[in-house]
């Protein structure tokens, strides 16, 4: 994929079965819940797989927070399974969590570009009639299995 965007951001799981996946510079895959089965993956410098802010909006107790004016710290419960990460990031009062990516490659995964599943930033907003600063959202899940991994910077 070169100079294009493959947009798979509906709130469903997309399952792609490919012989190889190559994302050239300025190529992008935008998604919320992706499974990619392939032989080899190459994300060239400038190429992006982006799942940032494609997770959940605030649901339940979610993550932790710190209220500096009241000196109150609350750590939310952990969720998901770190060995097999398949959970969307929980959102905050003002932003969405990160999405989910699973890559199953029987050969080589080479990442010179970016794979992102960031949660949204903290913000100042009015929630339920109360204005204030609210914490950011949790990142999503990235799970890559392969025979050989070549990760830039790793």
- pLDDT tens digits for range 1-60: 556 788 887 878 999 999 999 999 999 999 999 999 999 999 999 999 999 988 887 654
| pLDDT tens digit sequence for 79-90 | 777 788 888 888
What is this structure's pTM?
0.80
Q: Provide DSSP, 51-117.
A: -TT-SPPP-TT-S-EEETTTTEEEPPPP-S-TTS---PPP--SSS----EEEEEESSEEEESSEEE-
């Amino acid at each position: 994929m070169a100079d294009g965007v493959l947009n798979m951001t509906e709130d469903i799981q997309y399952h792609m079965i490919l012989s190889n996946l190559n994302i050239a510079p300025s190529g992008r895959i935008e998604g919320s819940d992706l499974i990619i089965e392939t032989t080899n993956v190459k994300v060239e410098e400038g190429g992006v797989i982006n799942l940032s802010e494609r997770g959940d909006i605030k649901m339940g107790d979610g993550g932790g927070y710190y209220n500096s004016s009241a000196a109150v710290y609350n750590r939310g419960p952990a969720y998901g399974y770190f060995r097999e990460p398949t959970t969307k990031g929980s959102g905050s009062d003002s932003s969405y969590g990160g999405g989910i990516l699973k890559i199953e490659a029987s050969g080589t995964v080479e990442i010179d570009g970016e794979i992102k599943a960031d949660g949204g930033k903290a913000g100042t907003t009015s929630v339920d009639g109360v204005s204030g600063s609210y914490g950011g959202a949790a990142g999503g899940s990235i799970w890559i299995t392969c025979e050989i991994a070549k990760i830039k910077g790793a």
